[in-house]
Amino acid sequence: MGILSLITGKAGPSGFGSGSTAELVTAGVDACRLTVIVTGGASGIGLETSRVFALRGAHVIIAARNTEAASEARKNIVEANPKARIDVLKLDLSSLKSVRAFADQFNSMNLPLNILINNAGVMFCPFELSEDGIEMQFATNHLGHFLLTNLLLDKMKATAKSTGIEGRIVNLSSVAHHHTYPNGIDFDKVNDEKIYNDKMAYGQSKLANILHAKELSRRLENEGANITINCVHPGLIMTNLMRHSFFLMRVVQFATYILWKSVPQGAATTCYVGLNPQLKGVTGKYFADCNVEKTSKFARNDVLAKQLWEFSEKLIKSSK
- pLDDT of 320 reads 66
**In 3D, which of 54, 23, 60, 20 has the Cα closest to residue 39?**
60
Phi/psi of residue 127, nearest 5 degrees: -60, 130
Give every CB contact of residue 27 below 8 A, 6+ residues apart in sequence. Answer: none
Read off the pLDDT of residues 137-157 as tens digits, 9 standing for 90 and up: 999 999 999 999 999 999 999
Q: Is 286 a catalytic residue?
A: no
pLDDT at 176: 96
For residues 177-187, give the mean pLDDT: 96
pLDDT value at position 133? 97
- Closest by CA to 149, choosing from 203, 230, 77, 83, is 230
Confidence (pLDDT) at 237: 72
Range 296-319 average pLDDT: 97
Whether 170 and 273 have beta carbons less than 8 Å apart is answered as: yes
Hey, what CATH topology would domain 3-319 get? Rossmann fold (3.40.50)
Closest C-alpha to 37, from 152, 160, 139, 121: 152
Span 77-105, pLDDT tens digits: 999 999 999 999 999 999 999 999 999 99
Q: 103: burial class by Cβ within 10 Å (0-12, 13-18, 19+)?
A: buried
pLDDT at 234 over 90: yes
Band of pLDDT at residue 293, cut at 50, 70 and 90: very high
pLDDT tens-place string over residues 160-175: 999 999 999 999 999 9
Does position 281 have pLDDT exceeding 80, yes or no? yes
Distances (CA, A) of 88 to 80, 122, 307: 17, 20, 34
Q: Of 236, 239, 233, nearest to 256 (Cα)? A: 236
What's the confidence (pLDDT) of residue 245? 47
Domain positions in the chain are 3-319
In whole angstroms, what is the distance from residue 104 CA to residue 78 CA? 26
Strands in 35-39's sheet, in edge-to-edge order, are: 85-90, 59-64, 35-39, 115-118, 167-172, 227-233, 286-288, 291-292
pLDDT category of residue 131 using cuts at 50, 70 and 90: very high
**Among residues 181, 196, 257, 272, which one is catalytic?**
196
